[in-house]
Amino acid sequence: MNMNFKKQFGARVNYLRKLAGLTQERLAEITGLSPKTISYIENGKNTLSFNKLPLIADGLGVDVYKLFVFADKENNKEAVDALLTSATDKEINVIKDIVKTLLAMK
């Protein structure tokens, strides 16, 4: 299997898990998979068998096809939102300053 695909798929599962506000451990409990398996999937070291895709999708609260939507402008905005959700106030202020600086460089 293409290593790039494994990494993209893993990154997508990681993103959707964070968007859902779940830890790897909680997703493992919901799906019946081990936390180690979830970690391996998210890090592109392991893939799922076809019959396990619905378990992950259901656990994340998405349709199966959304596991394979890797990148578009909307997903990028959602990814930033998901990351900001877990950021501290101090981190958000730093991010805000960086974004202001980057936009001023246009």
List of domains in the chain: 1-69 (1.10.260.40), 71-106 (no CATH)
Residue 29: predicted pLDDT: 98
Residue 69: predicted pLDDT: 85
Dist CA 95 CA 86 (whole Å) = 13
**Average per-residue pLDDT for the chain:** 87
pTM for the predicted model, two decimal places? 0.66
What value does the mean pLDDT take over residues 96-106? 87
Segment 63-90, tens digit of pLDDT: 999 999 876 555 677 777 777 887 889 9
Q: Residue 10's pLDDT band (boundaries 50, 70, 90)?
A: very high
Give Cα 106 to chain centroid, integer Å.
29
Residue 49: predicted pLDDT: 87
Residue 18 has pLDDT above 60, yes or no: yes
For the record, the structure tokens of 88 come out as 């501290």
Residue 87: predicted pLDDT: 81
